Structure 1
Amino acid sequence: MAMFDLPLAALHDYRPALDEPADFDAFWARTLTEAREHDLAASLTPYDALLPGVQVFDVRFRGYGGQPVAAWLILPTVRSGPVPCVVQFIGYGGGRGRPHEWLLWPAAGYAVLVMDSRGQGDGDTPDLAGDTTPHHSGLMTRGVLDPELYYYRRLFTDAVRAVDLAATLDDVDADRIVVAGASQGGGIAQAVAGLHRRVRAALIDVPFLTWFRRATEITDSYPYQEISVFLATNRDRIADVFATLGYFDGVHLAARGTAPALYSVGLMDDVCPPSTVFAAYNHYAGPKTIQVWPYNRHEGGGSQQAPVQLPWLRDQLT
């Protein structure tokens, strides 16, 4: 894949006009208020992962609608008091996985709370009551004709509640909570940074769920293609679909983020095109920096992104 999007100089200046719903803030205030009417009802069950350098807990808490959400809490075994916590979100189609996959942050001295994505992965968190089958695709259009019913209303709310949970944990420094993720996880981290004032810093890698309209117009890659296929069939519902997506668009949520943010982007990324990432980055309201990987696609910096994140995060949390 060659560089198919705008040149880098133009990307740094790319700041499309916001076209958000008039009741955007009221919608999210009501959604989160309703979710917080349910007690978190958190349970932390010790889990023997045969990893003596860390302490692992199998976590359950109440997310959207009081529905149960699974997570891993992984702490460094050696710690002198409450530690910063990275709340980690997952890419499209994936779930919380297994504890050994999430050792970077505990190795750096942080806790990590890895939130399962409802209806995705291996099925630890159902999306809707009675529907325990995990979905590999199709979630981009699940409920897309009504913002009240749209899938990402539930998932973003779960993510906000995950930060609420992290702030209650005895071993976590509630003033040093970080949100992180790549692709869908990056889009979720971006959303939570815009919705939760307790976030201290945000690691937003190659974010998905951002500038939907342009994404559907310039890439044939999935998952954005799920929306395009839906619209090709439902020709008379285009306005309805983008009216719903306006409540969940990362560009609108980024405009409300105030915590320092470290973004990353691949200039050959056909899954999350660079202009969609820069649209959100340029609107992000807080202090920000972006790591550009010129010859990479959706993998972005891959294993080389962590060496960029670690010193940046150390500086934010000191």
Structure 2
Amino acid sequence: MTLYDLPLDALRSYRSASAEPDDFDGFWADTLARARSHDLGARFEPVDAGLTTVEVYDVTYAGFGGHPIRAWLVLPAGESGPLPVVVESIGYGGGRGLPHAHLLWASAGFAHFVMDSRGQGSMWSEGVTADPVGSAPSHPGFLTQGIEAPETFYYRRLITDAVRAVEAAHAHPRVDAARTAVIGESQGGGVALALAALLPGLLAIAPDMPFLCDFPRAVTITDHIPYSEVGNYLRTHRTSGERVRRTLSYFDGVHFAARCRAPALFSVALQDTTCPPSTVFAAYNAYAGRTKEIEIYDFNDHEGGGSVQQAAQLRWLPKMLAA
């Protein structure tokens, strides 16, 4: 794959044409108020995962609609706390998987909370959380489920689950709620942007190749999933374009980024055909926090920086969450 998007100089100044809805803040305030009307009920069940350097808890808590959401909490063994916490959302189609896949942040001395994505977890990493909410006709995948209205859209549920995941992580006695970071790749990066906007007390955010950003450009510049699901849906539902654009505007990472204040470490891959680099820069350029950086991987597709980016986060995040 060669470079196909804007040149880097143009990316650094690119601004999205995504139109923000007038009631964006009211929509999300109402959504979270409804979710918080349900008892969080966070439960932490110890799990013997055959690991000696970490302690693992199987977590259940109430997400959107009070629905049960699963997660892992991984803690460094023998650390009494309180520990800074890294809350992670998973990439598109994946689930929380198995505990031994989540050793990095606990090995660095952090509590690590990994949210399962409702209804996902059958494409590349196993999930166990069902989505009890039905959907009108949609294209295979998740990006068009309930897309005819923001109230029914799948990502209203997923982002709300993630807000409640941060609150569930804070419910554990060995977690220092005042030192919280959110991270994620792709879909997880897009969700992290939403969290940094909706939870102003976060100390850091690290979104890698974030999905769910600059929908007007994303759905027209790439024919890769997940963005291609929108075009495929509209190819059949020919009169739904305006309703779909309105729905997506409530979930665009560009609008969340404009409300974020926490220090941020982004990453982007310039040959990424899944989350085009212009859509990542759209969120980065809109990001309102005074402290922000972006790592650029010139010759990578959606695998991004991989372990090199993890090493960058390991250098950066401890400074952000220092006591």
Shorter-chain TM-score above 0.5: yes
Shift of 1:136: 11
Q: Where in structure 2 are the equivalents of 1:268-279 lying within 5 Å?
A: 268-279=271-282
Is 1:296–2:308 an aligned residue pair?
Answer: no
Q: Which residue pairs with 2:132 in the alignment?
A: 128
Q: Which residue pairs with 1:38 in the alignment?
A: 38
**SS, match of residue 44 in structure 2:** strand
Q: Where in structure 2 are the equivalents of 1:234-253 lying within 5 Å?
A: 234-253=237-256
Is 1:23–2:23 an aligned residue pair?
Answer: yes
Give TM-score, length-normalised by structure 1.
0.96
Give TM-score, length-normalised by structure 2.
0.95
Q: Which residue pairs with 1:155 in the alignment?
A: 158
Sequence identity of aligned pairs in percent? 56
Is 1:264–2:267 an aligned residue pair?
Answer: yes
CA contact (8 A) 2:17 2:216 kept: no
Q: Which residue pairs with 1:232 in the alignment?
A: 235
Superposed structure 1 runs of 4+ greater than 2 Å apart: none
Is 1:116–2:116 an aligned residue pair?
Answer: yes
Distance 1:194 1:39 in 2: 23
Q: Which amino acid aligns with 2:298?
A: P
Query: What are the ranges of 5 or more consecutive residues in structure 1 without an aligned counterpart?
Result: none
Change in Cα spacing, 1:129 to 1:212, as seen in structure 2 (3 Å) is closer
Distance 2:293 2:170 in 1: 26
**SS, match of residue 228 in structure 1:** helix
Is 1:315–2:319 an aligned residue pair?
Answer: yes
Distance 1:253 1:98 in 2: 31
Query: What are the ranges of 5 or more consecutive residues in structure 2 without an aligned counterpart?
Result: none
Structure 1 range deviating more: 100-109 or 192-201: 192-201
Shift of 1:80: 4.3
Distance 1:223 1:147 in 2: 18
Instruction: Give the count of matched residue pairs.
Output: 315
Q: Which residue pairs with 1:211 in the alignment?
A: 214
Q: Which amino acid aligns with 2:300?
A: N
Q: Which residue pairs with 2:172 in the alignment?
A: 169
CA contact (8 A) 1:211 1:276 kept: yes
CA contact (8 A) 2:16 2:254 kept: no
Distance 1:130 1:272 in 2: 27
Q: Which amino acid aligns with 2:302?
A: H
Distance 1:123 1:79 in 2: 28
Distance 1:5 1:130 in 2: 36
Shift of 1:17: 4.3
